[in-house]
């Protein structure tokens, strides 16, 4: 019978979602309210501790800055790429490259930056630039630069379809009605692209907010970001029994990401009505 | 002797509003492709001219040059006596309706119509009044608050027309505005475009590849090929007196029948056909005869045989295999279609209407 056959096809998907998303999320949610096998609000209260609030603040600042800068640079790059020949070599090369770079994070990326900008890095030694390279290990300088390395290509990948969805007729209609190029961007293309832009910006925010491996590889002093704090609660040999607090912090992250992604979904739905992709 | 008034002269005399448009010696090439090759075209004030032709004939390029969306390599564009050849699009005071998808998707129908007025710094009260008037003109006053994605293709094109006309342009440009619509809506909107154009009196250039559309709405139709105008004339003249076989073939259905020309007439299918000016006048020729200018008779001893019949609503078509080779399409009243089942022996004769003859070698 057709309906049951169709359902059979999505079983692997639901199995995957259950094992890798629902169960871990459930473990986090329940674990945030349990300590030593007993229900408690202590883990949630621990979110108010200065170390946690400071890490949350740093995570938000890092995510906002790299999302905004990455979104602006990526959008400009996406527009430039959209003007290239549709199936030309340049366009295919840049989009393929960005597809790879957007996923290029973690230890490899951290090592690449260390090899280039650290005290013993290539540019620092050879050209004498980089200011001694110590800034690279700071969350508000080094990490921002390193995060931009994957934020900009990610923006290009996410935003390019929206830019390419702008129809030439809209520009031409604006011109025939008496509008200039600047007016077209201000009154037509800008407002049409805005939901997609903000949606992509939110995606970049969550991308930076939840990144762990790159920060862990680069930052060795303390845990200035929320993901590092969470990691610390599970791996620390100094303070034991903090798993519940770690789960509470993870829950806080899940809530932030869920809010942001809901906003993204709403904006994306609006944009998809306007832009044919 | 005074020459008979042309359709252009008639339109110029009738015009109450609108401006004259003149394209002179326009050339435009894209690499090796010559899109416009010395195009000369005049539109009388208030006239609606349709440019018709196959894909790549240059009709859209001509319209886009007039709009300023393409720059001609050489030539001159005049609107209302002013040289606009190098004037940017946004200073030309034109209204344009595109093939499809030109409404701003983030604006309602009303906001779309108000857009051009806003650029002209009209007050919001004036804008609203004018938008309401225009939406009423195109029959969409109840859809003013809808977005493009909430409207059908036909409604979107109506709004696009209202938007183009709201700014009271000197010239209205229609770039295949009906081609993305289904057949019924196309006919409806086509008639509406003509009604509105006559009402507002704006000089209009209408580009289409649909001959029926062009013949139905235009004061004059220009047939283009390879960047040049092959013929521009009133629809009935274009249809009944094509200047060459390209125009005859492109506009309407034409039978290419072998015949023998002798000065002013030719013998075709055993009958005599007067020849149009410009025809080949001696020897073997191909005579271009319309299906409605042939008659078919059932005849058990006839030399020809019906190969197929089609019912087309108002009339029917009988396709006859000719004994002399080739085939002829004959138009018959729809009530007579059943008289000619495939295989029926028939004779086909011309009705005697004038036709164009070209040398049998072409």
Mean of the per-residue pLDDT values of chain B = 91
Q: CB A175 to CB B90 under 8 A?
A: yes
**pLDDT of A20 strictly over 80:** yes
Q: How many CB pairs under 8 A join A and B?
A: 73
A166 assigned to some structural domain: yes
Whole-number Cα distances in Å, B305 to B287, B296, B324, B328, B329: 21, 10, 11, 10, 12
CA atoms of A261 and B26, how far apart (whole Å): 55
**pLDDT of A123 strictly over 90:** no
Q: Map tokens 């394209």 to a residue.
A: B23
Of the residues A166, A171, A173, the best mutation for testing chain B's interface (the one with the most B CB atoms within 10 Å of its CB) is A173
Mean pLDDT of B257-268: 92
Per residue in A208-259, pLDDT tens? 998 888 888 887 677 788 898 888 887 766 665 678 889 999 999 999 989 9
Report the number of distinct structural domains present in chain A: 1
Q: What is the ipTM of this complex?
A: 0.83
A14 assigned to some structural domain: no
Q: Using a CB–CB cutoff of 8 Å, tell me whether A269 touches chain B.
A: no
**pLDDT of B1 strictly over 50:** no
Q: CB A172 to CB B89 under 8 A?
A: yes
Q: Map tokens 């090759």 to a residue.
A: B37
CA torsion sign, A47 to A51 to A57 to A62?
Answer: negative
How far off is chain A from B216, nearest CA to CA, in Å? 26
How far off is chain A from B119, nearest CA to CA, in Å? 7
Of the residues A177, A185, A269, A274, the best mutation for testing chain B's interface (the one with the most B CB atoms within 10 Å of its CB) is A177
Nearest to B80 by CA among B44, B50, B116: B44
For position A191, what pLDDT does the model report? 92
CA atoms of A171 and A176, how far apart (whole Å): 9
B304 within 8 A of B322, measured Cβ to Cβ? yes
Mean pLDDT of B277-281: 87
B114 within 8 A of B128, measured Cβ to Cβ? yes
For residue A187, the chain B residues in CB contact (below 8 A) are 115
- The dihedrals phi and psi of B323, each to the nearest 5 degrees, come to -60, -35
Tokens of B58: 């240059």
- Which string of b and e fits A136-174 if b means at least 16 CB within 10 Å? bbebeebbbebbbbbbbbbbbbbbbbbbbbbbebbbbbb
For position A131, what pLDDT does the model report? 60
Q: Using a CB–CB cutoff of 8 Å, tell me whether A167 touches chain B.
A: yes
**pLDDT of A1 strictly over 60:** no
Nearest CA in chain A to B90: A178
B174 within 8 A of B48, measured Cβ to Cβ? no
Length of chain A: 277
Q: CB A274 to CB B119 under 8 A?
A: no
- The dihedrals phi and psi of B92, each to the nearest 5 degrees, come to -90, -15
A75 assigned to some structural domain: yes
Per residue in B136-170, pLDDT tens? 988 899 999 999 999 999 999 999 999 999 999 99
For residue B119, the chain A residues in CB contact (below 8 A) are 177-179, 183
For residue A179, the chain B residues in CB contact (below 8 A) are 90, 115, 119
Q: CATH number for B7-240: choose from 3.40.710.10, 3.40.50.300, 1.10.3470.10, 3.40.50.720.
A: 3.40.50.300
Q: How would you list the strands of the sheet with B304-311, edge to edge?
A: B294-298, B345-350, B304-311, B315-321, B327-333
Nearest CA in chain A to B66: A176
CA neighbours closer than 13 Å in the CB half-sphere of residue B190: 23
CA atoms of B283 and A183, how far apart (whole Å): 65
What's the pTM value of the predicted model, to 2 decimals?
A: 0.80
CA atoms of B21 and B205, how far apart (whole Å): 9
Q: CB A176 to CB B95 under 8 A?
A: yes
For position B158, what pLDDT does the model report? 92
CA atoms of A267 and A271, how far apart (whole Å): 6
Nearest CA in chain B to A276: B101
Domain residue spans in chain B? 7-240, 253-359
Count of Cβ atoms closer than 10 Å to residue B97 Cβ: 27
Of the residues B61, B63, B66, B90, the best mutation for testing chain A's interface (the one with the most A CB atoms within 10 Å of its CB) is B90
More confident residue, A252 or B7: A252
For residue B153, the chain A residues in CB contact (below 8 A) are none
Tokens of A242: 């903090």
- Which string of b and e fits B250-280 if b means at least 16 CB within 10 Å? bbbebbbbbbebeeebbbbbebebebbeebb
Q: Using a CB–CB cutoff of 8 Å, tell me whether B88 touches chain A.
A: yes
Per residue in B242-252, pLDDT tens? 999 999 989 98
Q: Using a CB–CB cutoff of 8 Å, tell me whether B66 touches chain A.
A: no
- CA Rg, chain A, in Å? 22
What CATH number has the domain bearing residue A174? Answer: 1.10.3720.10
CA atoms of A56 and A252, how far apart (whole Å): 9
A133 assigned to some structural domain: yes
Mean pLDDT of B54-61: 94
A43 assigned to some structural domain: no
pLDDT tier at A277, thresholds 50, 70, 90: very low
Of the residues B63, B102, B104, B205, the best mutation for testing chain A's interface (the one with the most A CB atoms within 10 Å of its CB) is B104
A45 assigned to some structural domain: no
- Of A40-44, A103-107, B36-40, the least confident: A103-107
Mean of the per-residue pLDDT values of chain A = 86
Helix axes B183-200, B153-166, angle to 10 degrees: 10
Q: Using a CB–CB cutoff of 8 Å, tell me whether B260 touches chain A.
A: no
pLDDT tier at B43, thresholds 50, 70, 90: very high
Percentage of chain A modeled with pLDDT above 90:
47
Bridge partner residues of B222 (DSSP): B51, B232
B225 within 8 A of B246, measured Cβ to Cβ? yes
CA atoms of B279 and B81, how far apart (whole Å): 37
Per residue in A127-160, pLDDT tens? 776 565 666 677 777 888 889 999 999 999 999 9
pLDDT tier at A104, thresholds 50, 70, 90: confident
A25 assigned to some structural domain: no
Instruction: Indicate the burial class of B104 (C-beta count within 10 angstroms; 0-12, 13-18, 19 or more).
Output: buried
Nearest CA in chain A to B107: A188
DSSP states of B196-264: HHHHH--EEEEEES-HHHHHHH-SEEEEEETTEEEEEE-HHHHHHS-SSHHHHHHSS--EEEEEEEETT
Per residue in A63-72, pLDDT tens? 999 999 999 9
- Start-end of H helices in chain B: 7-14, 59-67, 109-119, 124-137, 153-166, 183-200, 211-217, 235-240, 245-250
For residue A269, the chain B residues in CB contact (below 8 A) are none
Per residue in B292-338, pLDDT tens? 999 999 999 999 999 999 998 889 999 999 998 899 999 999 999 99
Q: Using a CB–CB cutoff of 8 Å, tell me whether B272 touches chain A.
A: no
Tell me B2's DSSP state: P
B113 within 8 A of B166, measured Cβ to Cβ? yes
For position B81, what pLDDT does the model report? 93
Q: CB A172 to CB B102 under 8 A?
A: yes
A205 within 8 A of A259, measured Cβ to Cβ? no
For residue B98, the chain A residues in CB contact (below 8 A) are 169, 172-173
For residue B105, the chain A residues in CB contact (below 8 A) are 192, 273-275
A32 assigned to some structural domain: no
Closest Cβ opposite residue B116 in set A167, A178, A276? A178
CA atoms of B246 and B187, how far apart (whole Å): 26
Nearest to B34 by CA among B76, B72, B84: B72
Closest Cβ opposite residue B101 in set A169, A177, A183? A169
For position B10, what pLDDT does the model report? 55
More confident residue, A193 or A9: A193
A141 within 8 A of A219, measured Cβ to Cβ? no
DSSP states of chain A: -HHHHHHHHHHHHHHHHIIIIIHHHHHHHHHHTEETTEE-SHHHHGGGSHHHHHHHHHHHHHHHHHHHHHHHHHHHHHHHHHTS-TT-HHHHHHHHHHHHHTT--HHHHHHHHHHHHSTT-HHHHHH--SGGGGGGGSTTTHHHHHHHHHHHHHHHHHHHHHHHTS-HHHHHHHHHTT--HHHIIIIIIHHHHHHHHHHHHHHHHHHHHT--HHHHHH--SS--SHHHHHHHHHH-SSS-S-HHHHHHHHHHHHHHHHHHHHHHHHHHHHHHHH---
CA atoms of B312 and B191, how far apart (whole Å): 21
More confident residue, B290 or B180: B290
For position B128, what pLDDT does the model report? 95
Range of the domain at A161: 58-242+253-274
Q: CB B116 to CB A175 under 8 A?
A: no
Percentage of chain A modeled with pLDDT above 70:
91
Q: Map tokens 């929320």 to a residue.
A: A226
For position B145, what pLDDT does the model report? 95
């Amino acid at each position: 019978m057709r309906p049951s056959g169709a359902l059979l096809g999505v079983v692997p998907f639901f199995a995957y979602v259950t094992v890798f998303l629902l169960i871990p999320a459930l473990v986090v949610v329940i674990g945030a309210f349990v300590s030593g096998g007993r229900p408690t609000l202590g883990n949630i209260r621990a979110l108010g501790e200065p170390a946690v609030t400071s890490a949350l603040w740093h995570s938000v600042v890092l995510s906002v800055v790299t999302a905004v800068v990455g979104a602006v640079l990526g959008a400009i790059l996406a527009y430039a790429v959209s003007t290239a020949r549709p199936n030309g070599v340049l366009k295919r090369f840049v989009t393929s490259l960005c597809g790879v770079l957007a996923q290029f994070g973690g230890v490899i990326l951290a090592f690449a930056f260390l090899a280039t900008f650290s005290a013993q890095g290539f540019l620092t030694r050879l050209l004498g630039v980089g200011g001694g390279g110590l800034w690279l290990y700071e969350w508000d300088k080094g990490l921002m630069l390193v995060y931009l390395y994957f934020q900009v290509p990610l923006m290009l990948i996410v935003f390019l379809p929206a830019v390419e969805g702008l129809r030439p007729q809209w520009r031409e209609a604006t011109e025939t009605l008496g509008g200039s190029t600047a007016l077209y961007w201000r009154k037509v293309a800008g407002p049409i692209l805005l939901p997609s832009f903000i949606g992509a910006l939110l995606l970049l925010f969550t991308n930076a907010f939840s990144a762990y491996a790159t920060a862990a590889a680069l930052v060795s002093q303390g845990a200035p970001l929320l993901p590092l704090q969470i990691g610390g609660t599970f791996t620390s040999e100094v303070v034991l029994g903090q798993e519940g607090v770690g789960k509470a912090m993870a829950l806080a992250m899940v809530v932030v990401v869920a809010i942001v992604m809901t906003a993204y979904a709403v904006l994306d739905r609006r944009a998809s009505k306007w832009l044919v992709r | 002797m005074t020459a008979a008034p042309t359709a252009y002269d008639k339109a110029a005399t009738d015009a109450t509003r609108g401006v004259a448009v003149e394209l002179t010696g326009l050339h435009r090439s894209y690499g090796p492709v010559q899109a416009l090759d010395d195009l000369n075209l005049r539109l009388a004030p208030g006239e609606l001219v349709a440019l018709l032709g196959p894909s790549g004939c240059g009709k859209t390029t001509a319209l886009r040059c007039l709009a300023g969306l393409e720059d001609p390599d050489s030539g001159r564009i005049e609107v209302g006596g002013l040289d606009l050849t190098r004037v940017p699009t946004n200073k030309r005071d034109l209204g344009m309706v595109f093939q499809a998808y030109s409404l701003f998707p983030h604006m309602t129908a009303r906001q779309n119509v108000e857009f051009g007025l806003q650029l002209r710094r009209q007050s919001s009260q004036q804008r609203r009044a004018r938008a309401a008037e225009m939406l009423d003109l195109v029959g969409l006053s109840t859809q003013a608050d809808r977005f493009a994605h909430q409207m059908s293709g036909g409604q979107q094109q109506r709004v696009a027309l209202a938007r183009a006309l709201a700014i009271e342009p000197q010239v209205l440009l229609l770039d295949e505005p009906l081609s993305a619509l289904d057949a019924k809506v196309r006919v409806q909107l086509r008639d509406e475009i003509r009604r509105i154009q006559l009402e507002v009196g704006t000089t209009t250039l209408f580009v289409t590849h649909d001959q029926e559309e062009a013949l139905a709405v235009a004061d004059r139709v220009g047939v283009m090929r390879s960047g040049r105008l092959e013929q521009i004339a009133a629809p009935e003249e274009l249809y009944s007196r094509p200047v060459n076989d390209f125009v005859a073939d492109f506009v309407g259905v034409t039978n290419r029948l072998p015949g023998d020309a002798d000065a002013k007439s030719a013998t075709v299918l055993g009958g005599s056909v007067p020849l149009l000016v410009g025809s080949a006048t001696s020897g073997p020729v191909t005579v271009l005869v319309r299906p409605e200018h042939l008659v078919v008779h059932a005849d058990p001893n006839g030399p020809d045989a019906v190969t197929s019949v089609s019912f087309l609503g108002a009339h029917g078509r009988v396709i006859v295999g000719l004994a002399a080779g080739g085939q002829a399409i004959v138009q018959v009243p729809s009530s007579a279609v059943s008289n000619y089942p495939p295989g029926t022996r028939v004779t086909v004769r011309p009705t005697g209407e004038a036709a164009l003859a070209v040398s049998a070698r072409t």
